[in-house]
Structure 1
């Protein structure tokens, strides 16, 4: 599993960077950023959005992202960063969506660089959603040092399908229809 994840990280990173490059949303500077996530309609009724966050000063950060699910939805969020040096380094320490903790993984790429990502998939969410990301920008550099560190976020929402549970009357009609077909089949055999 670890081998698979380590092979997928560059692919995921490239995909996220490509998505966020076209998103045109860049938040810069401050260690405390606040962004609204713009969602775009996808195939069917799904929605997607992306963010690109840059920190220009080393130090602890607390970033907030807001989005809205208009109906009960499966929500998937992926945060990813990669850095080859301290001035490009972002370390996620915590990330929560409406209080639910995201899983955070950090990998040493073996060449002095590292990749970190956080992931969450949660079903049945509706209304205002707040993603809070906490971490440190700048690796081992002192707080306030000038840096250029970034991370990207991908947000996917898939509204729950309408309930397909039949009404009790429909079930009764189906059973009556099957019974009638059974009687016809039995009568045909006798004839």
Structure 2
């Protein structure tokens, strides 16, 4: 029994590679780039980042590059807050060569939280490459209910004054 478990553990460790998380940061243009050349076989790559605005809208894309038999097939690309999945990227295209494009658009994120971007898949041969980019912008603010009530009260008062003037 112990030999079987040991053999299974060795087999899994040789076919599944998982590197330590890589920190990425946003530049002055509010973008962050990342890329990797995973070894042949299954892989999970993890990137950690925080957003620069209190309420940010994150857009992201990942593209695989194919040269000869060097191909990457993603099984899942997703974003977590460290404990639960927040957003799954969608595969938006695959061209005739097999190159994949995955994207996430306008995901609302908060500052001060370490977000984790995971890319899971398999690489047909060493030397396959993927590259991605994250971009953020301040999310449009949503007014608080008190502010909305104040605006409505002001419009109502202005309407009442106009109604009284027409009546007089």
* 1:102-117 correspondence runs (5 A): 102-104=89-91, 107-109=94-96, 113-117=97-101
- Paired residues, what number? 142
Give the whole-Å Cα distance in 2 for the aligned partners of 1:154 and 1:84: 21
1:97 alignment partner in structure 2: 79
Is the CA contact (8 Å cut-off) linking 2:25 and 2:50 kept in structure 1? no
1:39 alignment partner in structure 2: 26
Matched, 1:173 2:160: no
Is the CA contact (8 Å cut-off) linking 2:57 and 2:138 kept in structure 1? yes
Give the secondary-structure state (helix, strand or coil) at the position aligned to 1:175. helix
Give the whole-Å Cα distance in 2 for the aligned partners of 1:132 and 1:95: 6
Cα shift at 1:122: 5.5
Give the whole-Å Cα distance in 2 for the aligned partners of 1:40 and 1:65: 16
Is the CA contact (8 Å cut-off) linking 1:77 and 1:121 kept in structure 2? yes
Matched, 1:158 2:144: no
Using the TM superposition, name which of 152-161 and 118-127 deviates more: 118-127
Using structure 1 for the length normalisation, give the TM-score: 0.62
Unaligned runs of 5+ in 1: 1-29, 142-146
Structure 1 residues 37-61: Cα deviation after superposition (integer angstroms, max 9, x where no partner) = 221244xxxx322112223x32222
2:56 alignment partner in structure 1: 73
1:6 alignment partner in structure 2: none
Structure 1 residues 111-158: Cα deviation after superposition (integer angstroms, max 9, x where no partner) = xx3211222235332222101111112x2x5xxxxx322111111223
Using structure 2 for the length normalisation, give the TM-score: 0.69
Is the CA contact (8 Å cut-off) linking 1:95 and 1:101 kept in structure 2? yes
1:132 alignment partner in structure 2: 118
Unaligned runs of 5+ in 2: 1-16
